[in-house]
């Protein structure tokens, strides 16, 4: 499956004579957003091949990965279990748009404390889960494993050869690793970190097979899912100019960073850049409910 490449018209791009195209992976599927579609594809095929009937995975309260897994599991006829960070959600998850939708798609939850959540990859913890739920196919947090990276390699296609730079937001690093592996020899992949991830350089290095990449760490806005009025304003203005919605956790930070770099003449005249819209738009409702409580401006939907 291929998504469309959208040419972006914007005064800054015209002034700096830089070409920007956004690959609309967010439009791949109405509920399995962008890169999560790519990351789940081969995992669900593997689960089918193993004759598994249940998918179990992990995530936070607003997780794009939880939303995507719930829907994809339903579509392919699996049961789905989401192990969710935060015991306090046990009583309030019905007011959380992401979890409510995942539940309606058939996912069932196990809420655990933040300290248990940190142990979630341990053998003891997984064994306990198998005792509780029986057999399942485990998809790690954020969906990143070898099969996920294989799926993300398919984001870049032959027609993308004309670009000099490929840009993607980075959470766990799975998506950008797929892009790095399938990039063309003359291309450079820029990964924009969505969190304070000093560890991410080492992590990505372990997953890839070449040096055609760089991690950009100046635009994470204080941490994962942290935001600012400046970022919200940027996302709203970008949508007014281009009609493209960005999410505040990943793609908004990437495009903000990319425009800041373009403003500061990081790219030579004539450079052709492709940025991947990895989706994540389902998270806007949850972010707006948080912003509203803090009396901050909201994201235009």
Ligand X SMILES: *Cc1c(COP(=O)(O)O)cnc(C)c1O
How far is residue 129's CA from residue 134's CA, in Å, rounded to a whole number? 8
Cα-to-chain-centroid distance, residue 286: 15
Whether 194 contacts 250, CB under 8 Å: yes
Instruction: Pick the binder of ligand X from 3, 28, 29, 35 (CB under 6 A).
Output: 35
Q: For 243, which DSSP code?
A: -
| Phi/psi at 161 (5° precision) | -65, -25
Whether 226 contacts 290, CB under 8 Å: no
- Should residue 34 be labelled a site residue for ligand X when binding is judged by CB under 6 A? yes
Least distance from ligand X to the Cβ atom of residue 192, Å: 9
Least distance from ligand X to the Cβ atom of residue 53, Å: 25
Which residue, 34 or 291, has its beta carbon nearer to ligand X?
Answer: 34
Instruction: Pick the binder of ligand X from 144, 182, 187, 227 (CB under 6 A).
Output: 144
Whether 220 contacts 194, CB under 8 Å: yes
Helix, strand, coil tally for the chain in percent (to 5) = 50, 15, 35
Closest CA to 196 of 115, 238, 253: 253
How far is residue 126's CA from residue 135's CA, in Å, rounded to a whole number? 11
The stretch near ligand X (CB under 6 A) out of 41-49, 51-59, 163-171, 215-223 is: 163-171
Which residue, 34 or 82, has its beta carbon nearer to ligand X?
Answer: 34
The stretch near ligand X (CB under 6 A) out of 28-36, 74-82, 262-270, 293-301 is: 28-36
Which residue, 56 or 246, has its beta carbon nearer to ligand X?
Answer: 246
Which residue, 133 or 224, has its beta carbon nearer to ligand X?
Answer: 224
- Should residue 57 be labelled a site residue for ligand X when binding is judged by CB under 6 A? no
Least distance from ligand X to the Cβ atom of residue 61, Å: 14
- Should residue 171 be labelled a site residue for ligand X when binding is judged by CB under 6 A? yes
The stretch near ligand X (CB under 6 A) out of 7-15, 50-58, 123-131, 273-281 is: 273-281
- Should residue 145 be labelled a site residue for ligand X when binding is judged by CB under 6 A? no
Instruction: Pick the binder of ligand X from 151, 245, 248, 279 (CB under 6 A).
Output: 279
- Should residue 69 be labelled a site residue for ligand X when binding is judged by CB under 6 A? no
Window 242 to 261, contacts with ligand X (CB under 6 A): 247, 250-251
User: Regarding beta strands 213-216 and 188-193, do their DSSP bridges make them parallel or antiparallel, or are they unpaired?
Assistant: parallel
The stretch near ligand X (CB under 6 A) out of 104-112, 155-163, 276-284, 289-297 is: 276-284
How far is residue 19's CA from residue 72's CA, in Å, rounded to a whole number? 35
Least distance from ligand X to the Cβ atom of residue 144, Å: 5
How far is residue 300's CA from residue 47's CA, in Å, rounded to a whole number? 38
SS (H, E, C) 195-228: CCCCCHHHHHHHHCCCCCEEEECCCCCCCCCCCC
The footprint of ligand X (CB under 6 A) covers 34-36, 64-65, 142, 144, 169-176, 247, 250-251, 278-280
């Amino acid at each position: 499956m291929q998504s469309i490449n959208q040419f972006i018209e914007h005064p800054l791009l015209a002034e700096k004579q830089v070409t920007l195209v956004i690959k609309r992976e967010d439009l791949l599927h109405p509920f399995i957003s962008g890169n999560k579609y790519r990351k789940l594809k081969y995992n669900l095929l593997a689960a089918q091949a193993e004759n598994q009937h249940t998918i179990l995975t992990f995530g936070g309260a607003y997780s794009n990965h939880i939303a995507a897994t719930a829907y994809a599991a339903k579509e392919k006829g699996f049961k789905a279990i989401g192990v969710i960070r935060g015991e306090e959600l046990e009583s309030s998850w019905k007011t959380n748009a992401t979890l409510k939708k995942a539940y309606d798609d058939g996912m069932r939850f196990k809420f655990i404390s933040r300290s248990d959540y940190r142990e979630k990859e341990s053998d003891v913890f997984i064994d306990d889960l198998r005792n509780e739920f029986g057999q399942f196919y485990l998809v790690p947090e954020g969906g990143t494993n070898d099969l996920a990276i294989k799926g993300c390699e398919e984001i870049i296609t032959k027609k993308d050869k004309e670009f000099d730079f490929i840009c993607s937001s980075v959470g766990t690093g799975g998506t950008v690793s797929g892009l790095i592996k399938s990039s063309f020899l003359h291309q450079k992949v820029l990964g924009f970190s969505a969190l304070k991830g000093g560890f991410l350089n080492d992590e990505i290095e372990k997953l890839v097979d070449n040096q055609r990449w760089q991690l950009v760490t100046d635009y994470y806005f204080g941490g994962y899912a942290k935001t600012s009025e400046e970022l919200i304003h940027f996302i709203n203005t970008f949508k007014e100019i281009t009609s493209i919605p960005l999410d505040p956790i990943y793609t908004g930070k990437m495009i903000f960073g990319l425009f800041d770099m373009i403003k500061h003449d990081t790219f030579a005249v004539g450079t052709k850049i492709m940025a991947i819209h990895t989706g994540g738009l389902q998270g806007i409702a949850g972010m707006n409910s948080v912003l509203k409580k803090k009396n901050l401006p909201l994201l235009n939907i």
